[in-house]
Amino acid sequence: MRSPAGILLSPVGLAPATASVEAFHAAVRAAAGPDGFVEIFTHDGDSREPARLSALFATPGRPAERGTLLFLHGKGGCGAEWTVDSVRALGLGFNVLVPELRGHPPSTGARITYGVLETGDLLRLLDLAETRFGVARARLGVDGCSMGAVLAVHLAAASPPAALWLQAPFGDLVAMAAHYLHCATSLPTFLFTLPVRVLMRRIARTEGLDLSEVDPVRAARRVTCPAVVVHGENDSLIPIRFSTDLYEALAGEKSFWRVPRCGHCHHADEPQAVARAEYERRWTEFFRASLG
């Protein structure tokens, strides 16, 4: 069995990602149309822990004239999980930017850091996208799932986008880590709460990774752009109560959509699958209003 630190810092999720990369690439190429293009490129990540990171950019054409959607997957996920969303965004006339986060192949990196390094990775990605494709931060929307939603909050606190769509975020890393270890081991959550605090101090001391920097609630207080939090009421991986504090801390215009009978994003019972028509309507109206 992997150690608790190994479970928490590994880019491997509780179940393997099954989305097809080939189908994703084919779908976005078709959605980009004859006047558009798709480019897969690599860039350097945060220099504190070097990694070579991969991303996909797609556009219907003339990208500098369009708003852009940045999609951020969760722990153990992949960019191909955003196939439906990317095709929808391209059909609405937006550009699409889909990175493979550090540690998630083909991107390199030995571990995930919940935003300590990923924030720097994403800032570098956006700098490159601005230079290479004309992507403007003022017309950038971010859609994040699970850990990707937390990364979206940290990114927005560092460099404000136009809008955030946050699927199943969490506000307390210690509580989330204890719950995640429960999900991974089936042992009671209360057995992990104190050990997680000790473990995080040890990781900071022995591995130079201070996870106390990861405070999604503190970051949310600096987020002033419009934001929507979407959370399935039956989400067992990140229970809906985990997102309340983060939502309350968001400093701008915001709304909380509690979706009945739904589980975690990018799972079979996710809100987008169970409440598809309502999800697409809300998502489309939100980003059209925010990005133009």
Full-prediction pTM beyond 0.95? yes
Measured CA angle at 130 (ends 289, 92), to 5 deg: 35
CB atoms near residue 111 (< 10 Å)? 18
Q: Distance (Å, rounded) from C-alpha 277 to C-alpha 271?
A: 10
CB 262 within 8 A of CB 239: no
Helices (H), the chain: 4-9, 21-32, 83-91, 118-133, 147-158, 173-185, 193-207, 216-220, 244-249, 271-274, 276-291
The sign of the CA dihedral 240, 223, 102, 200 is negative
Q: Which helix (H) or strand (E) holds 97?
A: strand 95-100
Q: What are the pLDDT tens digits along the chain (292 aa)?
A: 578 899 999 999 998 889 999 999 999 999 999 999 999 999 999 999 999 999 999 999 999 999 999 999 999 999 999 999 999 999 999 999 999 999 999 999 999 999 999 999 999 999 999 999 999 999 999 999 999 999 999 999 999 999 999 999 999 999 999 999 999 999 999 899 899 999 999 999 988 899 988 999 999 999 999 999 999 999 999 999 999 999 999 999 999 999 999 999 999 999 999 999 999 999 999 999 999 8
CB 256 within 8 A of CB 250: no
Domains and CATH numbers, the chain: 16-175+215-291 (3.40.50.1820)
Q: Distance (Å, rounded) from C-alpha 153 to C-alpha 148?
A: 9
Main-chain dihedrals φ then ψ at residue 73, nearest 5 degrees: -80, 175
